[in-house]
Amino acid sequence: MRKRLYKRLLDAKLQTKLCAVFLVIFLMSMTCILVLSSILLRAESIKNSSQKTEQILKEAKRNLDYIILDMENMSRFIISESTAQNMLLEGKGTKAYEAHCNQMREILANLASYKPYIESIGLYNLDGDGISIGFGPALTRDYRMLENQGWLQEVFEAKGMYCWEWAKFEDLSLEKNFERLILTRVVNRQMSQQPVGILTLTLNQSYLENMLSQIYLGNQTALTLTTANKDIIFSTEEKKAGAVSEVFAHKNDNTFIIREGLTESLLHYEIADDAGWILYSKTPMKEINRDFLINLQVIIFAAILTIALAFYFYKRFAKTITKPISDVMHAMRRMECANFKEQIPVDREDEIGTLVKSFNSMTGQINILVNEVYKEKLHSKQAELESLQAQINPHFLYNTLECINWKALAHGEKEISQMILALSEMFRFNLSGKTKETSLSEEIQNIRNYLLLQKKRFQDKLDFFIDIPDELLETRVLKFTLQPLVENSIHHGVGNIEGNGKVYIIGEDYNEEIRLYVIDNGNGIDEELMKRILNGEERGSQTRGHGKGVFNVNERIKLHFGEEYGLTYENMKTGGTRVTVRIPKKGEGCNAECIDRR
C-alpha cells in the first residue's frame, strides 16, 4: 500500500508533486503558528483591554472627584458666609430677612453660574423657610419633599459634615418618578455650633449622564455608576443590577472575570475617593476574544495570500504561452466591431510569436484596404455634394434671403434680420466653391453664424465665446471641422442642463501644430464610449447621436493630415467637456504619405 502511494507520487506530474509538498510543509507550519498565536494573542488581548479600560476609567474618576470636591468646597464656602448665617437666624417676614435672602440669592446664583454640573442650590432654616436657585424639577427645591426622604435624619446625625444622598421624588401631576444626587449638610451656628438650617446642592443629572455617555469603551462594553449604598446612578447595561453585587464582593481586586449563566465578562472598577461612588465597566469576553480572533484571521489570511502568490508565480510560465493566444482571440473580437487598427505587441521568435506577427500583418493590410474604401466613399460623397450644389441656384437663394431681410428691417424686426443675415452667410459658406479646405477665419465665421442662430433658438440661454489669435486665422483647415463638434456640445451637453449653457472656442499655436478647443459646461460624456466612437468601435444606436459626425470629422482629419492628428475628448474637473482638434501648423494635407503610414 505504501509502495503504491509512493509510486503514484513519483509518477505524478511535476506540478502535482510540488503542490503536494508545498501544502504539507505549509499546513504543518501554519498549525504550529496558529496554536501558539491563539494562546499569546488571547492573553495579550485581555491585558490590552484591561489597560485601556483602566486608563479611561481613571480619567473618568478624576473628573468625578473634581466635581465632588468642588461641590464640597462650595458647600463649605456657603455655610461660612455671614449672609447665610444672618438669613437663617433672622425671623421670616422682616425686612432684614428679605434683604439677606436677596443677597444670598445673588451669591448662590454667582456661584452656580459657572458650574454646569450644579442643577440647584437650596438654603433652608429648621422651619423649612429659605431660598433656592437653579433649574430642574421644582420638587428638588421644595424642603417639604426633602423632609419625606428617609435619609434626612442621617444628615442631622452627621453634625455638619456633608452627606451625598440618593433622593427619589414622585411627581403626581406628571405621574413620573425621578432621582437626584444631592449633597446635603446641616448649617451650624458659628458661635454655638447649634443647627440653624439645611444646605442642599443638587447635582445636574443630565450633565452627569452626558459626561458618562461620552466615555467610549467599546460597542459591547457597559458602564455603570453606583453610590456607596448600591443605588444605580447611571448605567448603559440593560440588566442594570446584574453585576453590582459582584463588584462589592471583589473590592480587593479592581479587575476580575464573572460568569452569568453561559456568559463570561471582564469587570474593572474605580472608586471615587470622597463620595465612595463606584464606576465600573463590564465587557463580554466574546468582545475581547473578537480582537484576538481578528488578529488570528489576519495571520490565516497572510498564509493564504502566500499560497496565492506562490501559485501566481507558478502559473506565470504557463501564461507566457496562453496569453498571446488569448490576445489574438480578443483582438479578433474587436475587429468584428470594425476596429481594424489592432496591433498586438510581440517580442518572441517562437511559434506563438510567428502567429502573432502574422495576425498583425493581416490586420495592417485590412486597415489599409478599409481606409482606401472609406476614402473612395468620401470622394463619392463630395461628388454628390458638389452635384447638389450645382442644382441650387445660389443667386436666387441669396436674393430671396436679401428680400426677406429688407422686409424684416422695414417692419423693425432687427432680430429676424440678424438671423436671416447669419443664415445667408452660412448658405454662402456651404455652397461656395468645390474645395474641401478653407481658412480658419472663414470656418470661425461660419461657426459664429451657427451659434447666433442657436442662441436665438435657446432664447438667450446659450452664451458663446470665441478666442482665436490673429496669426492663426489664415491656417488652412477642412470645411465643417468645428460645426459638428459645436452642434454635439449644444445638443448633448449644455442643452440638457438647467441655467445658461456656455460654449468656448479657443485656438493656440502648440509647438509644430495648431490646437482648437471646443469647451462646454454641460453634463460631460462617457470618455470610454467616446474613445470607442473615435476608433470606429461604436456606430450603433447606443452612441445616442454622439458618433457619426464626430467619427467623420476625426477620420477626415486623419486621412487628410495624418494619423498623428485628429480629435480627443476629456471631461473637465469643473464640469463639462473639452474636445481638442489637432492639425498641422501649415494646414496642408499629406495625401499618399498619410495612407502609407496607415
Per-residue model confidence (pLDDT) at position 222: 85
Cell 495571520 belongs to residue: 299
Per-residue model confidence (pLDDT) at position 102: 92
How many residues are there in the chain? 598
- Which ranges of the chain have pLDDT less than 50? 14, 540-545, 589-598
The values of phi and psi at residue 133, to 5°, are -130, 160
CB 207 within 8 A of CB 70: no
Per-residue model confidence (pLDDT) at position 407: 67
Tell me the angle at which helices 285-336 and 351-391 cross, rounded to the nearest 10 degrees. Answer: 60
299 vs 41: CA distance, rounded Å = 11
Per-residue model confidence (pLDDT) at position 316: 66
Tell me the angle at which helices 394-410 and 414-431 cross, rounded to the nearest 10 degrees. Answer: 170
Strands 577-584 and 176-188: unpaired
Per-residue model confidence (pLDDT) at position 103: 92
Sheet holding 163-171, edge to edge: 130-134, 118-125, 195-203, 176-188, 163-171
Per-residue model confidence (pLDDT) at position 467: 92
Write the CB contacts of 130 (distance below 8 Å, at least 6 apart in sequence): 87, 88, 101, 122, 123, 124, 143, 197, 198
Burial (CB count <10 Å: 0-12, 13-18, 19+), residue 337: middle
Q: Tens of pLDDT along 214-257?
A: 888 878 888 888 888 888 888 887 765 556 666 666 666 778 88
Per-residue model confidence (pLDDT) at position 22: 63
Per-residue model confidence (pLDDT) at position 583: 92
Per-residue model confidence (pLDDT) at position 544: 44
- The one-character DSSP state at 91 is P
SS3 string of 406-464? HHHHHCCCHHHHHHHHHHHHHHHHHHCCCCCEEEHHHHHHHHHHHHHHHHHHCCCCEEE
Strands 476-478 and 513-520: unpaired
Sheet holding 577-584, edge to edge: 462-467, 501-510, 513-520, 577-584, 566-571
CB 419 within 8 A of CB 453: yes
